Amino acid sequence: MPRPNKILEPTKTYNLLMTVSQYDKLSVYSHDMTRRSLEQVSVADLIRDAIEVYLEVLEGENEED
């Protein structure tokens, strides 16, 4: 059975280099969040969420200019 699609719009794949320490921290958070919720939370989900927050901040800064 294939994994359900979490992203309901066009996507692009990007290869990300990060430190082992960064990944390990995100892995602990994703594991804890998965245990507390009714769905799987992956490291990739956390990275996508962080990118979305970052983009919102950048867009807010551009609106102020």
| Token pair for 39 | 């769905």
Size (the chain), residues: 65
What is the mean predicted confidence (pLDDT) over 14-37? 97
Angle at 40 between CA 39 and CA 45, to 5 degrees: 115
Residue spans of the domains in the chain: they are 35-65
pTM check: above 0.75: yes
> In the predicted model, what is the mean pLDDT of the chain?
93
pLDDT over threshold 70, residue 1: no
Residue type, position 2, single letter: P
